[in-house]
Structures are given as structure tokens and as C-alpha cells.
Amino acid sequence: MTPDSPSDAREPDPAALQAARDAVDALPRRKEQLLPALLAAQHAIGWLPRAAVEHVHRHTRVPVSEVYATATAYSELRLEPPVPGQWHVCTGVACDLAGAPALLAAAPDRTARVDCQFLCALAPVVVDEHERLHGRMTPDDLRARMEAPAASKPARRSRAKR
């Protein structure tokens, strides 16, 4: 494998992986800690590579199949590295009816679909590249926010409304 091969992009930074292990190890070794452990690992790395999932499995003693089942059940958890600059448009029922297709069409190169973000009252909802939620979006709002300088600043996941 060469440093430029595509599979290298899926390997987590060793320091981030160690930070994820430390964060998971700080939690009690109980199966009830599965979701907090997955969230802690993802917060440290930005997504959940196989090594992080397996560490969560070992720490919580939850079968690895169940860890993957949980990781795939929550739209907040990612088994793939995030695409820089990509925003996600919720295509749950409420958002779909409130204009999600128009949002996807407004920036087709920078948007992808995501399942319900549980902020249906503010539909249509988008998740920015830093995992901040934005509600009641219009195509013009979306394009403006994508180009705004604040769009490039990292921030923790938060629920922001217009």
C-alpha cells in the first residue's frame, strides 16, 4: 500500500485513535455504555473506523455485531470518514415534504442525504460540515451559509435554528 492509495484515507490518525481509546477507557466497562463509548470515539476521531468499533466492543463487552448494529442505527454515528465541505440534507418525511429535494438540487456537489435528525418541527433540516444542525432552510439560505466564513469554522454538534 502506498501513502497515496485510497485505502489510506480510511485509516484514522494514530493520535486520534489513541485519544478515542482513552475516552472510551474513561467510561465504566458496562454494556450500557455502548452508545456513550461510540459517541466518545467518534468525537475523538470524527468517525468510527474498525479499530475504534473493536475497541468499544472490547471495552463494553458488547458483541461486535451489536456494536455495528448500533453504529448503523443512529444517523449521528458514521462508519465512513466525513467528506470535507459536505453538508447533509435530511430526507426524512417531514423534511422531504418541507423542501429537502430543492435543497439537494440547490447544491448537488456539496450535499448528501441523511436520515431524520429528530428536529422535524424545524423542517427542512440540514447538517453542516461541522455537524451543526440548521432548520427551516431554503435553497438561498443553504447556498449563503455554505459560502459564509463561519461555515469553515469547526464547532461541536449543536442544534441551530434560523
Return residues touching ligand FES (CB under 6 A). Answer: 90, 92-95, 116-120, 123, 125
Q: How far is the CB of 156 from ligand FES (least distance, A)?
A: 19
Q: How far is the CB of 119 from ligand FES (least distance, A)?
A: 4
The residues that bridge with 112 in the sheet, in sequence order, are 88
Nearest to 42 by CA among 12, 84, 85, 9: 12
Q: How far is the CB of 160 from ligand FES (least distance, A)?
A: 13
Peptide bond preceding 154 in cis form (omega within 30 of 0): no
Longest Cα–Cα distance of the chain, Å, equals: 48
Q: Which is nearer to ligand FES, 15 or 105 (CB)?
A: 105
Q: Which is nearer to ligand FES, 20 or 98 (CB)?
A: 98
Sequence letter at residue 159: R
Q: Which is nearer to ligand FES, 20 or 104 (CB)?
A: 104
> Would you say 61 and 33 are in contact if contact means Cβ atoms under 8 Å apart?
no
